Amino acid sequence: MYTQSKSLLEQNRWRIIDQSSVGPHFDALQSFAIDDTLCSSVGKNEDVTTARSWVHHNTIVLGIQDTKLPYLTDGVRYLQSQGYRVIVRNSGGLAVVLDEGVLNISLIFPDTEKGIDINRGYDAMVELVKHMLSPFHLQIEAKEIIGSYCPGSYDLSVAGKKFAGISQRRVRGGVAVQIYLCVTGSGGERANLIKDFYNKSIKGIQTKYVYPDVKPETMASLNELTGESSTIQDMMLALLTTLKNMSTSIYSSQLTADELAIFEHNYKRVIERNEKALSI
């Protein structure tokens, strides 16, 4: 059982599932089904706290609230015309961009008897990123960046420019804390894409829900912030080094046979939910 004084990153063992170089055919819907599967697995067996890394190519992930946009069809068609696949995720938040320059990390913990409160899960991810990026000596802040896409109280930024966003999902005794980390490319170009999506999906109509007024100058990639040429592989090395330093051991793994059976069920359900959400 965890104590409040102990960092969630300090584990006896970290199981590592690296899917950061699977390639363009890797479906983002699979990722959400995999994390749900790992939540179930970790929830049953507390000694297999898991870190999963993943990269998806040219995918826009919408939040459930985005499916209520008045002209969603026009927005989705625009994104598709720009070469992006559009899906709806099963956790909170709003539209985000995933591409080959964005590293996603999921930390999956057992939700113990006393429970892991929401902020503690977020704080663990902030701690991880600060350790990973310590060689750059950045002043990283965790606060909402107004004007970014998918704004939230745990946006990670440097000098007011957001480079990462964190979300959290709880399933069957497990907690998945997820982050998208914009490593390479242009934060402004990604933001412009989402800005255009909202413009085409709203067309100036008054909506019940307040969608972000995206300002491209509020977003950047790590490379833009540091002036360096870091790669996804560089960040993967930083991730593995950090977790190794915070634990007794780390080991590489893939889904087990039992987990694969659960995954197939979860993946089918995610696909059905996605089709229903995008039945426009």
Q: Which residues are catalytic?
A: 150
- Picking from 97, 100, 79, 81, the residue whose alpha carbon sits closest to that of residue 89 is 97
Beta-carbon contacts of 53 under 8 Å, excluding residues fewer than 6 positions away, are 16, 17, 18, 19, 20, 103, 104, 105, 106, 236, 239
The dihedral formed by the CA atoms of 270, 275, 278 and 280, expressed in degrees to the nearest 10: -170
Instruction: For tokens 């934060």, name the residue.
Output: 187
- 3-state class (DSSP) for residue 128: helix
**Helix, strand, coil % in the chain, rounded to nearest 5:** 40, 25, 35
Length of the chain in terms of residues written:
280
Cα-based angle 197, 268, 106 (whole degrees, multiple of 5): 65
